Structure 1
Amino acid sequence: MRLFWTIIWSFLLSSMVVYVVSSMTGAHFDLTLAIVLSITFTVASVVLGEGLLKQEDVS
């Protein structure tokens, strides 16, 4: 379920970023760029969350 919500949020946030940047530059919204950016965000989040950033057990 975490992966599902990560994909949804990364798509929404990357779509927002692509929309804002394209509006500021006067270009058209590019859905392909939003999808590529969301895949990049998803992979980065999964690698950081599941692999690199482990919580240490302090007893």
Structure 2
Amino acid sequence: MKYLWGFIWTFILVHMLTYVAGSMLSAEYDFKMASIYGIGAYILVLIISSILPAPASAEEH
């Protein structure tokens, strides 16, 4: 379930970022390109989360 919500939030936030950045540059909003960016960002988030070590529990401190 965390992967589904992670994908949904990444997808929404990247679309919002693409819209705002394009608006600031007077560019046209492209849903297809924003979706590709969203999928790429989600894959990047998955790779980074698999590389980082898990946080230490309270007993290990």
Q: How does 1:1-59 map to 2 (within 5 A)?
A: 1-49=1-49, 51-55=50-54, 57=56, 59=60
RMSD: 1.5
Seq. identity, %: 28
Q: What is the aligned length?
A: 58
**Unaligned segments of structure 1, at least 5 residues:** none
TM-score (norm 2): 0.81
Q: Which ranges of 4 or more aligned residues in structure 1 deviate by more than 6 Å?
A: none
* Larger-Rg structure: 2
TM-score (norm 1): 0.83
